[in-house]
Chain A
Amino acid sequence: MCGIAGIIYQQRSGPIGADLARMLQAMKHRGPDSTGYALYGEPGDLLVMRFTLADPNDPRDFSFSERLARNVREVEARLAKIGATIDRVDGESEYAYRASFRYDGELKPLADYVEDVPGAEVLSLGRSLEIIKDLGDAATVAEQYRLAGFAGTHGIGHVRMATESDVDIANAHPYWAYPFPDVAVVHNGQLTNYHYWRRRLERQGHRFQSECDSEIIAVYLAQSMADGLSLETAMKQSLRDLDGVFTYLVVTESALGMAKDEMAAKPLVLYQGADMVALASEEGAIRAVLDREIDTHDPYEGEVMVWSR
Chain B
Amino acid sequence: MDAEPTTPEVRTGRYDVRGLADPDATAPKTSVISGHTAELDAADLTIRQINLELRRLMYTEGVTEVTVLNPKARHSIAVGLLLRCRIRIQGSLGYFGCGLIDGPEIHITGRVGWSAAENMMSGVVMVDKNAGSLTGAALRGGDLVVRGDVGARTGIDQKGGTIIVGGNAGSMTGFMLQRGRQIICGDVGHGLGDSMYDGAIYVGGQVASLGVDCVEAELTAADQELIDRKFRIYQLDRPGAFRKFVCGRKLWNYDSLEPSERKLVL
Q: How far in angstroms is the closest Cβ of chain B from A98?
A: 31
Using C-beta atoms within 8 Å of the partner chain, give the interface range for chain A.
20 to 34
Q: Is the interface of B mostly helix, strand, loop or mixed?
A: loop
Q: Specify which of B20, B73, B132 is in contact with A29 (CB 8 Å cutoff).
A: B20
Query: Is B245 part of the binding interface, using a Cβ–Cβ cutoff of 8 Å?
Result: no
CB interface residues, A 262-309, toward B, < 8 Å? 262-264, 267, 269, 282-284, 286-287, 291, 293-298, 300-301
CB interface residues, B 102-140, toward A, < 8 Å? 110-111, 113-114, 129-130, 132-133
Q: Are A300 and B132 in contact, CB atoms less than 8 angstroms apart?
A: no
Q: Are A296 and B111 in contact, CB atoms less than 8 angstroms apart?
A: yes
Query: Is A136 part of the binding interface, using a Cβ–Cβ cutoff of 8 Å?
Result: no
Given known pairs A267-B133, A293-B91, A293-B92, the reply for A282 and B20 (CB within 8 Å) is no
Q: Are A283 and B148 in contact, CB atoms less than 8 angstroms apart?
A: no
Query: Is B160 part of the binding interface, using a Cβ–Cβ cutoff of 8 Å?
Result: no
Q: Are A283 and B152 in contact, CB atoms less than 8 angstroms apart?
A: no
Query: Is B199 part of the binding interface, using a Cβ–Cβ cutoff of 8 Å?
Result: no
Q: What separation, in Å, do the CA atoms of A32 and B20 have in the docked complex?
A: 11
Query: Is A28 part of the binding interface, using a Cβ–Cβ cutoff of 8 Å?
Result: yes
Q: Specify which of A263, A287, A291 is in contact with B152 (CB 8 Å cutoff).
A: A263
Q: What separation, in Å, do the CA atoms of A2 and B36 have in the docked complex?
A: 43
Q: What separation, in Å, do the CA atoms of A286 and B92 have in the docked complex?
A: 12
| Chain A residues near B172 (CB-CB < 8 A) | 263
Given known pairs A29-B18, A283-B94, A298-B130, the reply for A264 and B171 (CB within 8 Å) is yes
Q: What separation, in Å, do the CA atoms of A293 and B90 have in the docked complex?
A: 9
| Chain A residues near B20 (CB-CB < 8 A) | 28-29
Q: Are A300 and B130 in contact, CB atoms less than 8 angstroms apart?
A: no
Q: Are B189 and A301 in contact, CB atoms less than 8 angstroms apart?
A: yes
Q: Specify which of B74, B110, B130, B148 is in contact with A293 (CB 8 Å cutoff).
A: B110
Q: Are A300 and B151 in contact, CB atoms less than 8 angstroms apart?
A: yes
Q: How far in angstroms is the closest Cβ of chain A from B205?
A: 14
Using C-beta atoms within 8 Å of the partner chain, give the interface range for chain B.
20 to 34
Q: Specify which of B75, B111, B129, B171 is in contact with A263 (CB 8 Å cutoff).
A: B171
The residue in chain A whose Cβ has the minimal distance to the Cβ of B93 is A283
Q: How many pairs of residues, A versus B, come closer than 8 Å at their CB atoms?
A: 68
Q: Are B113 and A283 in contact, CB atoms less than 8 angstroms apart?
A: yes
Q: Are A284 and B94 in contact, CB atoms less than 8 angstroms apart?
A: yes
| Chain B residues near A296 (CB-CB < 8 A) | 92, 111, 130
| Chain A residues near B171 (CB-CB < 8 A) | 262-264, 300-301
Q: Specify which of A284, A291, A294, A300 is in contact with B75 (CB 8 Å cutoff).
A: A284
The residue in chain A whose Cβ has the minimal distance to the Cβ of B132 is A298
| Chain A residues near B110 (CB-CB < 8 A) | 293
Please encode chain A, from 23 to 48, with 1 for each CB lying within 8 Å of some chain B CB and 0 for all others. 00000110010000000000000000
Which of B72, B91, B114, B129 has most chain A Cβ within 10 Å?
Answer: B72
| Chain A residues near B91 (CB-CB < 8 A) | 293
Q: Are A267 and B132 in contact, CB atoms less than 8 angstroms apart?
A: yes
Q: How far in angstroms is the closest Cβ of chain A from B84?
A: 28
Q: Are A264 and B170 in contact, CB atoms less than 8 angstroms apart?
A: yes
| Chain B residues near A29 (CB-CB < 8 A) | 18, 20
Q: What separation, in Å, do the CA atoms of A258 and B74 have in the docked complex?
A: 24
Q: What separation, in Å, do the CA atoms of A108 and B151 have in the docked complex?
A: 42
Q: What separation, in Å, do the CA atoms of A151 and B238 have in the docked complex?
A: 49
The residue in chain A whose Cβ has the minimal distance to the Cβ of B111 is A296
Please encode chain A, from 167 to 199, with 1 for each CB lying within 8 Å of some chain B CB and 0 for all others. 000000000000000000000000000000000
Q: What separation, in Å, do the CA atoms of A267 and B75 have in the docked complex?
A: 14
Q: What separation, in Å, do the CA atoms of A286 and B172 have in the docked complex?
A: 27
CB interface residues, B 123-182, toward A, < 8 Å? 129-130, 132-133, 148-149, 151-153, 170-172
Q: Are A287 and B189 in contact, CB atoms less than 8 angstroms apart?
A: no
Which of A28, A283, A296 has most chain B Cβ within 10 Å?
Answer: A283
| Chain A residues near B72 (CB-CB < 8 A) | 284, 287, 291
Q: What separation, in Å, do the CA atoms of A297 and B150 have in the docked complex?
A: 9
Q: How far in angstroms is the closest Cβ of chain B from A166?
A: 20
Query: Is B95 part of the binding interface, using a Cβ–Cβ cutoff of 8 Å?
Result: yes
Closest 5 CB pairs of A and B: A283-B73, A264-B152, A298-B151, A297-B130, A301-B171
30 contacting pairs across A/B (C-beta < 8 A): A28-B20, A29-B18, A262-B171, A263-B152, A264-B133, A264-B151, A264-B153, A264-B171, A267-B95, A267-B114, A269-B113, A282-B75, A283-B111, A284-B72, A284-B74, A284-B75, A284-B94, A286-B73, A287-B72, A291-B72, A293-B110, A296-B92, A297-B130, A298-B133, A298-B151, A300-B171, A301-B152, A301-B170, A301-B189, A301-B190
Given contacts A264-B133, A284-B72, A300-B171, 17 further A-B contacts (CB under 8 A): A32-B18, A262-B171, A264-B151, A264-B170, A267-B133, A269-B132, A282-B75, A283-B111, A284-B94, A293-B110, A295-B111, A297-B130, A297-B148, A300-B151, A300-B170, A301-B171, A301-B190
